[in-house]
């Protein structure tokens, strides 16, 4: 029987597994890289072993180091979590060879599903419906382009060994096929060490439905209802819910049985997920089977009441499943939102930085937070930028959706740009409320999800000004030997004149950083008349800690403010590192800083030509030659960061004068990648 489990993973999934291990009275062992020496999962485990450098390839992906850590600590089982080594057949075999219980499926099952092309052949033989496509070994680019033409554009290029949206490209026409293929192959090689690609017909508006299956070693198997994972960006899920809206009992049963047939075709054991595309007519097509626990497994736990990690351990011990198919409940509705350090306004570009402020909604029977970070932790370039998973549950979808919107409005992060505001807007959108779901949801509703106006700017400006006036008053009293002395006051008192003082603020609005000059006229107590570019506002309020209570023109509001320490701000702008702050209101956050007279005299290297590194990362390729004349939109440099590729494109017609970094070089965010001469006229 298993008594001590080493978790071969990091972050929120390692923490989540440790919680169940503790609940079962078992011992846990964490592993960590240099970057994770002070990580939450390390402190939660009973023991922890250092296994290498920060790069995943030198630590979490080096299964010899993981095996040695398990043997050294006396662990008798390894749980791989998801990602990293979770679907590595060689790792599963190494565990067995060293007498370690791999908490996952048999080696043969992993191998069968490890290649998407081989998996589709198996599923075709089992009678599971498939999309038309090419799944063979011939990888000649011209041949693959011919196959794409036979299938008919648009097509989807997918890494055969892939997952998580990496190594995937939608190709709309033949003229961009080779460029898309090369990019997908590079990304697949970096993520999985294998550039084998398959080509499939791309459905224009499908839903992404997946079935959670579970099988024991005694021949029993069940499906635990379904999840809708249609809300995606970069082919990666950000919202998942269970059950799928509009799913009929008959279709659920049909898809569930098909999923079990997939599992039985490869003699599966443990937790697995079979993913399907569902079209408007109710036809569904096999995509892939993930031979591991899924990121979104909590929504299944919330609607069934089952602990899937506990089930994994039971099955690994050779015990039978706790229930039969007829005993699987479906209770209420659950929704999961993935909180990422990323910038939705910049095509969801991953972000790095320190979590200088972190406040989460209170957990309860209705709200669950799976996370692996605490305030002060660093979101680095080495791993996925997920901060947490926010999961809500209630009796029905409408009630769960209200829970989600409320919880997102209470989730505050400063120090890095996140997708929280975007998720909050999405949760309130009519399209999501009405469950008009498909994998192109974000593109379809982009006008709603990326609003151009800032209707709360007057409130935000008033709150920021009030916070600064209060901070000035506090600083003045703190510095004075007698805080009750009139000289300790900073209310701009003048004999026979209005008590008026200036506050200069910059707010980072949707349309860009905007400076405001506020003349604050103190009229007594905590009441001010604020004169600015937006007109005159009467503001009354108090600031206690990080909470701002403000009444603006007779309407009361409560906001949260997080003040960043000097040099600990997400922005690279030196000005914003002085007196920087983040305001949170109604699910949105906005950064700003106090503008001082010397701001603007600092080195202003951000010339706006778009040729700076958008974040820390590595140069994958320089795409053109020095001296080459290019047109606007031409790809110039490919960067890789957080397992994804980003192409830096020319923002105007011109000539490349010099590349400042070579292939393989590590660069910091904001660094000038190349010298570029814009064409005249």
| Whole-angstrom distance, CA of residue 275 vs CA of residue 228 | 10
| Whole-angstrom distance, CA of residue 4 vs CA of residue 27 | 4
Active site residues per annotation: 292
> Residue 3 in contact with residue 76, Cβ under 8 Å?
yes
Q: What is the pLDDT of residues 63-76, one digit of tens each?
A: 999 999 999 999 99
| 3-state SS assignment for residue 542 | strand
Q: How many CB atoms lie within 10 A of CB 574?
A: 14
Tokens representing 222 are: 């069940």
Count of residues for the chain? Answer: 681
- When pLDDT is averaged across residues 325-330 and rounded to a whole number, the result is 98
Amino acid 600: pLDDT: 36
Q: What is the pLDDT of residues 86-111, one digit of tens each?
A: 999 999 999 999 999 999 999 999 99
- Give 656-664 contacts, CB < 8 A, sequence gap 24+: 656/624, 656/625, 656/626, 656/627, 656/628, 656/630, 657/626, 657/627, 658/626, 659/622, 659/626, 661/619, 661/637, 662/619, 662/622, 663/619, 663/620, 663/621, 663/622, 664/618, 664/619
Amino acid 194: pLDDT: 86
Domains annotated on the chain, with CATH: 4-103 (3.40.50.20), 132-201 (3.30.1490.20), 207-449 (3.30.470.20), 457-594 (3.30.700), 617-678 (2.40.50.100)
| Whole-angstrom distance, CA of residue 52 vs CA of residue 80 | 17
| Whole-angstrom distance, CA of residue 442 vs CA of residue 239 | 11
CA torsion, ordered 450, 383, 651, 607, to nearest 10 deg: 100
Q: What is the pLDDT of residues 405-414, one digit of tens each?
A: 999 999 999 9
Distance separating the N- and C-terminal Cα atoms of the chain:
76
Q: What is the pLDDT of residues 599-641, one digit of tens each?
A: 333 333 334 466 888 777 888 889 999 999 998 888 899 888 7
Amino acid 479: pLDDT: 53
Pairing outcome for strands 155-159 and 133-134: unpaired
Q: What is the pLDDT of residues 209-226, one digit of tens each?
A: 999 999 999 999 999 999
Tokens representing 281 are: 């007519």
> Residue 408 in contact with residue 400, Cβ under 8 Å?
no
> Residue 627 in contact with residue 646, Cβ under 8 Å?
no
- The pTM of this model reads 0.83
């Amino acid at each position: 029987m298993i008594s001590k489990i080493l978790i071969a993973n990091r972050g929120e999934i390692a923490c989540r597994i440790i919680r169940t291990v503790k609940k079962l009275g078992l011992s846990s062992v964490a592993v960590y890289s240099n970057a994770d020496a002070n990580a939450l999962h390390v402190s939660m485990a009973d023991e922890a072993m250092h296994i290498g450098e920060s790069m995943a390839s030198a630590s979490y992906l080096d299964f010899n180091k993981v095996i040695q850590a398990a043997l050294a600590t006396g662990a008798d089982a390894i749980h791989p979590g998801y990602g990293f080594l979770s679907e590595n057949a060689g790792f599963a075999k190494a565990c067995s060879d060293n007498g370690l219980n791999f908490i996952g499926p048999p080696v043969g099952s992993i191998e069968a599903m490890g290649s998407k092309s081989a998996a589709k052949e198996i599923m075709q033989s089992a009678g599971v419906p498939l999309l038309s496509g090419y799944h063979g070994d011939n990888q000649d680019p011209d041949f693959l382009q011919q196959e794409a033409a036979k299938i008919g554009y648009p097509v989807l290029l997918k890494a055969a060994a892939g997952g998580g949206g990496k190594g995937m490209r939608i190709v709309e026409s033949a003229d961009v096929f080779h460029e898309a293929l090369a990019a997908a192959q590079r990304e697949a090689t970096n993520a999985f060490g294998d550039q084998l690609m398959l080509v499939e017909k791309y459905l224009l508006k499908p839903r992404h439905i997946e079935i959670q299956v579970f099988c024991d070693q005694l021949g029993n198997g069940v499906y635990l209802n379904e999840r809708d994972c249609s809300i995606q960006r970069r082919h990666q899920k950000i919202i998942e819910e269970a059950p799928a809206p509009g799913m009929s009992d008959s279709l659920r049963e049909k898809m569930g049985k098909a999923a079990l047939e997939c599992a039985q075709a490869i003699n599966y054991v443990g937790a697995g997920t079979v993913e399907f595309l569902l079209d408007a007519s109710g036809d569904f097509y096999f995509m892939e089977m993930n031979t591991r626990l899924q990121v979104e497994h909590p929504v299944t736990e919330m609607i069934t009441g089952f602990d899937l990690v506990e089930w994994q351990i039971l099955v690994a011990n050779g015990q039978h499943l706790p229930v039969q198919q007829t005993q699987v409940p479906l209770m209420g509705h659950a929704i999961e939102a993935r909180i990422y350090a990323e910038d939705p306004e910049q095509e969801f570009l991953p972000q790095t930085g320190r979590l200088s402020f972190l406040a989460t909604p209170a957990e309860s029977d209705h709200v669950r937070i799976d996370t692996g970070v605490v305030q002060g932790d660093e979101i680095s370039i080495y791993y996925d930028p997920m901060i947490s998973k926010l999961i809500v549950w209630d009796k029905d979808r409408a009630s769960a959706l209200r829970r989600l919107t409320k919880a997102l409005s209470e989730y505050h992060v400063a120090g890095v740009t996140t997708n929280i505001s975007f998720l909050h807007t999405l949760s309130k959108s009519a399209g999501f409320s009405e469950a008009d779901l498909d994998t192109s949801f974000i593109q379809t509703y982009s006008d709603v999800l990326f609003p151009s106006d800032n209707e709360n700017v007057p409130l935000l400006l008033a709150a920021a000004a009030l916070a600064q006036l209060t901070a000035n008053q506090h600083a003045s009293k703190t510095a004075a030997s007698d805080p009750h002395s009139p000289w300790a006051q900073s209310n701009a008192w003048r004999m026979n004149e209005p008590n008026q003082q200036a506050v200069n603020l910059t707010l980072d609005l949707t349309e860009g950083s905007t400076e405001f000059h506020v003349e604050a006229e103190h009229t007594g107590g905590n009441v001010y008349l604020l004169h600015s570019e937006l007109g005159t506002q009467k503001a009354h309020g108090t600031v206690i800690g990080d909470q701002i209570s403000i009444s603006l023109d007779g309407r009361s509001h409560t906001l949260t403010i997080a003040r960043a320490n000097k040099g600990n701000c997400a922005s690279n702008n030196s000005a914003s590192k002085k007196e920087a702050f983040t305001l949170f209101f109604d699910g949105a956050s906005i950064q700003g800083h106090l503008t001082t007279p010397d701001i603007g005299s600092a080195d202003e290297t951000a010339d706006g030509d778009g040729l700076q590194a958008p974040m820390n990362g590595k140069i994958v390729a320089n795409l053109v030659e020095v001296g080459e004349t290019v047109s606007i939109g031409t790809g110039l440099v490919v960067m890789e960061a957080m397992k994804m590729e980003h192409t830096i494109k020319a923002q105007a017609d011109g000539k490349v004068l010099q590349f400042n970094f070579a292939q393989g070089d590590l660069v910091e965010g904001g660094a000038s990648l190349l010298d570029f001469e814009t064409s005249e006229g």
